[in-house]
């Protein structure tokens, strides 16, 4: 949506941050400053993972969607745009505790639910 000039979401997307301080946004010089640390290793792994996801799945899908929208057919799909969208999502994702039955309706057998074997189930029941 951010790439489409006629998107109804454009006014909202335009007020979102365009830069981030996360290490996945470091340039080569900045990344070299943390070489030898766990941050460097984690950043390199995360960037490789995001690049693979972009190359294998996201790029072709977004190109197809832009092709359907004739106004966006000439827009180049770049990794930096995907990285921006990923950063926007993860800086705004909320961890809201919900009852187990709401998150996993009918996905587990009754025995697991009765005995509280579900990860986090005991925490959720004490908060209700």
Successive 10-residue mean pLDDT values, the chain, 128 residues:
83 93 95 96 96 96 81 80 93 74 62 51 48
Long-range contacts, stretch 11-17, CB < 8 angstroms, 24+ apart:
16/88, 17/88, 17/91
Q: Which domain holds residue 109?
A: 96-128
Exposure class string for 79-113: b at 16+ Cβ within 10 A, else e: eebbbbbbbbeeeeeeeeeeebeeeeeeeeeeeeb
Query: In the prediction, which pLDDT does 49 show?
Result: 96
Query: In the prediction, which pLDDT does 65 show?
Result: 82
Instruction: Give the tokens for residue 118.
Output: 């579900």
> What is the total count of domains within the chain?
2
Query: Is the residue at 5 inside a domain?
Result: no
Same domain, 30 and 82: yes
Query: Is the residue at 3 inside a domain?
Result: no
Same domain, 87 and 106: no
- Largest distance between two CA atoms of the chain: 56
Work out the number of other CB atoms within 10 angstroms of the CB of residue 61.
10
Same domain, 34 and 84: yes
Same domain, 78 and 103: no
Query: In the prediction, which pLDDT does 1 show?
Result: 81
Instruction: Give the tokens for residue 79.
Output: 């990794």
Same domain, 40 and 100: no
């Amino acid at each position: 949506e951010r790439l489409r000039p006629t998107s109804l979401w454009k006014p909202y997307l335009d007020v979102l941050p365009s830069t981030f301080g996360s290490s996945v946004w470091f340039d080569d010089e900045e990344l070299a400053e943390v070489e030898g640390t766990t941050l460097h290793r984690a950043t390199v792994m995360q960037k490789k993972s995001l690049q693979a996801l972009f190359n294998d799945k996201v790029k072709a899908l977004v190109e197809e969607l832009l092709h359907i929208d004739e106004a966006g057919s000439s827009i180049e799909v770049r990794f930096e745009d995907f990285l921006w969208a990923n950063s926007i999502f993860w800086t705004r994702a909320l961890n809201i505790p919900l009852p187990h039955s709401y998150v996993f309706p009918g996905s587990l057998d009754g025995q697991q639910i009765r005995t509280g074997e579900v990860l986090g189930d005991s925490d959720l029941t004490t908060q209700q």
